[in-house]
Structure 1
Amino acid sequence: MSTRSTTSGLTKQRRTRAKSGCSTCRIRKVKCDEIKPSCRKCSSTGRTCDGYESPFKIYYGKNIADPCSRNGSSRSILPAILPASNKITAQDISSLNRCFSVKTVFDVELGCNMEAKQVLEASLTDQSVQHAVSALKSLRQDFERSREVAVNTPGPSASYEYGLEQYCLALEALTSSDTPPSSQGLTSTLLCCQIFICIEQVQQNYATMGQHLTQGLNIMRQFRARPSLNVDLELMSAHDSPLPHLDVFLIKMFSVPCKFSDISNSRTADEGAANACPVSPLQQPNGSRSHRSIAPDMRAGLTRIAAMTLEFLEKVSQVRLSSEALQLLSEKRPLQRSLDSWLDKLDAIQPGKTSPNTELISVSFMRLFHQALRIIVLGALEASSDIDNDLQIENNRLQIIAIDLGDRLRSYRMPNTP
Structure 2
Amino acid sequence: MAVISKSTDTIVRKRNRRAAGCVTCRIRRVKCDEGRPSCHRCTNTGRKCDGYPAPKEPAPIAYLIMAQTSSECEYIARTAFQYFREVCAPALSNYGSGHFWSRLVLQACHHDESIKHLIIAASCLGAQDYPLLQSTSSKGCPLYLSHYGRALKLLSRATSPDPAVVLMACLLLVLCNELQRKPDAAVQHILAGKNILASYTAQQQIQTSAAIAEIAPIFLQLERHTASFHGSDMTTSLPATLSDSESPSTPGSVAQVTDPGGQVDLSAPVTFTDINDAAISLQAIASACIATPRLEEPPPATVFHTVPVLTASLNSWLEHFATFEASHTEETSPFLTANHQILRMYHTILHILSRCVPYFAETGFDACTGTMERLILTSIQLVQLTPARLIPIMFFVATQCRNASIRRRAVEMLRQCGPEGRMLARIALKVVQIEERGVEEPITCADIPESKRVKVTDVQHDSLGDGYILLFRRYPYGQDTPIEYCSVSKQSMTSMDDVPSCTSLPLLLQAVLNFDFMLFWNPPDPSRSTFALPNIIAA
Q: Which has the higher contact order (CA 8 A, sep 6+)?
A: 1
TM range (shorter): 0.3 to 0.5
TM-score (norm 1): 0.38
Larger Cα-atom Rg: 2
TM-score, normalised via structure 2 length: 0.31
